[in-house]
A = this chain, B = another copy of it.
Amino acid sequence: MSNKPTWIWYPGDFEVWLGNRFNNRRTERGSMFPPFWKQDAHWPTVEFTTTAELADDEDISIAAEGDYNLAVDGKLQTDNRIPQGRHRLSIKVWNQASPPALFVSGRSIGTDDSWLTTYEDKIWIDENGVAHGAGIYVHAGSWNFDSPDTPPSQYRLLRRQLLPVGSEPIGPSDSHDGSDVEAATGMLYDFGREVFGYLILTRQEGTICVYYGESREEALDKAHCETLDILRPGHRQPQSKAFRFVYIETAPDGRYADVLMDFEYAPSTAAAPATAAAALSAVSPSDPPAASGSFRCSDPLLNRIWEVSAYTLDLTTREFFVDGIKRDRWTWSGDAIQSYLMNYYLRFDTPCVRRTIRQLRGKDPVTAHVNTIMDYTFYWFKSILDYYQYTGDTHFIGEMWPRMVTLMDYVLSRTNSEGMAEGRPDDWIFVDWTDFPMHKRGTLCFEQILFCKALETMDACQRLLNSRGDTAPSAPPHQNYATLAASLRRRIRSTFWSKEQQAYLHAVEDGLLLNTQVTKFPNMFAILYDLCDNEEERQQILHNVMLNPAVAPITTPYMRFYELETLARMGRHDVVLAEMRAYWGGMLGLGATTFWEKYVPSESGLQHLAMYGRPYGKSLCHAWGASPLYLLGRYFLGVSPTKPGYEEFEVRPQLGDLEWMEGDVPTPRGLIHLHIDRHQARLQAPAGHGILCLPDGQKIAIEAGKEAVIDYNGK
């Protein structure tokens, strides 16, 4: 029973439904472009139930999304009065269009996630006419829909109007449409930096063609820009798009007065500049939410990298964490796990993490890997372990456990005779977009290391739930995940580790280690995911692979995330800072207002915009470009939870070549604030047991709620 009732639904179903709306909004030059994988549906009929102990009769109000009934102690009611005493309330809601959802409020009765729910109550009647129920009940899902007037199906992000910061008439020679049509002229509008939302044309009439561009070149290339809107009389308004530039042409019958936009953003980010002037003057969020992370240091370039990273992550933090806002606009597990980690150092928007994890998993039966990509299935497991470490939220582990089990069952049903995860014809083995030849045939070492971490996640979560006596009621018989993980770990080492090359080699093909290519991928994960159990091997990997210029370089920010994390983990903060300035600084030097899907420093001009064989195929605002948020918070400010949910934590600052730095790291209990220069560290933490580990070897226990000021020898 709750004093604050809220809308409830079958857990995961809100995300399944919202995810379908979200993922189907992708367009390619005006055509809708749904995902390649199975999209699930919510349960159309759901029962919600609770037991109430009432001192007096109580009238309840019921709001439902869908048709509903009310039963008390199994008997259908014709009014909403619950008699005094102990009673079981059951409310069935049916809705095929959006998830059945329920909001009940009374003097003492109110819907919240203590209510139970099922999609099959499995009532049956025995030979004596007595009804039995064998339904599997789980805790209801809920969020913050706390008024009967805000049902979940009405969920929307926030919006704020923005004006362009400049406009420019375009003559025939400036726009390209690849045809010989008598050239029309139009107007180019510049919103100052990458934005996301709905273009608005006031007093719009007739036919108007709108071409969007993340770059000026893209907006002006009518034949190749990735997104466009042809607005015809009576046609719908522009749909949400990502752009900095908009090029508009009108047909003879077309006209409009002003151009502006509804900038759309997640409440946690509050990232929209309030005015067009603000959009020009600052790339940093104008009103960061109170509990957000921050970073400032003595190097203005790094500060700008952090700010543009924050804006990039804010733009890609939407109903879900999305990969890129222009083109894909789908949830991708490999991208999302990085967004989650960055988010733990920026907005700590854990509802969005949970939503994305639920959405990516979808529902049973499992018919393919997450996003059809084997690696992405393994990241999905690991992301739950990360979530638990940062939040300490065991409730969510319990919610996800049954779906973790069935997804792992799918993985285990497809292993080869060595117990390894080998790609089958319908599996996508992704790893990374590489600019060097790398086959993905056979059994890749990289995949096995991720698989091993996924098994270890299963083991950790199972032990956690067991220790709390909280094994999810619907969990099938468990595997011994610890044994499977230990066995796989041994096999990976014995199969792929080369003593000669002091590296993990690429792949087994046809039963033999035929592909002895050395790439950074398995080697860095061997360090990050704790496959290496001795320092000697780690050092060998560091020097023979990670710092070896003969090993092909990584060219996506995606895998640079792990590459730089590995270097930081190995204490090479100097290299990390140098790479950050060169790589992310390189994008800034090219005018980036958000960070990109891919960046190859050796390319030039329009090459920077092309990808997938399309001249503007590259996303210029891609979540995985924002990794400095994580790297600076986790390895320079040095803040990390050592027990789940920051019950215990460590602050191990590393200045590298910086003179000073300061920043905030959000935790479930509030912000940890650190300021450090070469002589003194000042640390304040709101709660938890913290240890400050200074570069000179000092370890100081932090008293919660009180600023610690520690002098140290910073050389």
Contacts and interface: CB of A to CB of B under 8 A. Distances in A.
Contacts of A96: 17, 20-21, 41, 97-98
Nearest to A124: B428
A53 interface: no
Interface in A60-85: 67-71, 76-78
Contacts of A29: 76, 78
A126 interface: yes
Interface stretch (A175-183, A361-369, A495-503, A691-699): A361-369
Contacts of A120: 36-38, 367-368, 372
A619 to B, nearest CB: 15
A399 to B, nearest CB: 18
A550 interface: no
A155 interface: no
A487 interface: no
Interface stretch (A42-50, A639-647, A652-660): A42-50
B34 A92 contact: yes
A36 B121 contact: yes
A295 B376 CA distance: 65
A21 B44 CA distance: 10
Contacts of A124: 36, 372-373, 426-428
Interface stretch (A387-395, A432-440, A597-605): A432-440
Contacts of A126: 440
A49 to B, nearest CB: 14
B42 A438 contact: no
A134 B78 CA distance: 52
Given A17-B96, A76-B29, A365-B365, A37 B122 contact: yes
A13 to B, nearest CB: 10
Given A39-B119, A428-B124, A129 B28 contact: no
A68 B33 CA distance: 9
Contacts of A536: none
Contact of A122 (B24, B36, B71): B36
Nearest to A440: B127
B372 A123 contact: yes
A613 interface: yes
Interface in A115-154: 119-127, 129, 134
A45 B438 CA distance: 34
B94 A32 contact: yes
A31 interface: yes
B39 A44 contact: yes
B129 A613 contact: yes
B68 A32 contact: yes
Nearest to A228: B78
Contacts of A372: 120, 122-124
Given A69-B33, A129-B613, A426-B134, A28 B94 contact: no
Contacts of A36: 120-124
Given A20-B94, A96-B17, A122-B368, A439 B31 contact: no
A263 to B, nearest CB: 25
A30 interface: yes
B41 A127 contact: no
B134 A425 contact: yes
Q: By CB atoms of chain B within 10 A, which of A76, A98, A364, A437 has the most?
A: A76
A76 B122 contact: no
19 contacts: A17-B96, A21-B96, A24-B94, A29-B76, A32-B69, A32-B94, A33-B69, A34-B45, A36-B124, A38-B43, A38-B120, A41-B41, A41-B43, A96-B97, A96-B98, A120-B372, A122-B426, A123-B372, A124-B372
Interface of A: 17, 20-21, 24, 28-45, 67-71, 76-78, 92, 94, 96-98, 119-127, 129, 134, 364-365, 367-368, 372-373, 425-428, 434, 437-440, 612-613
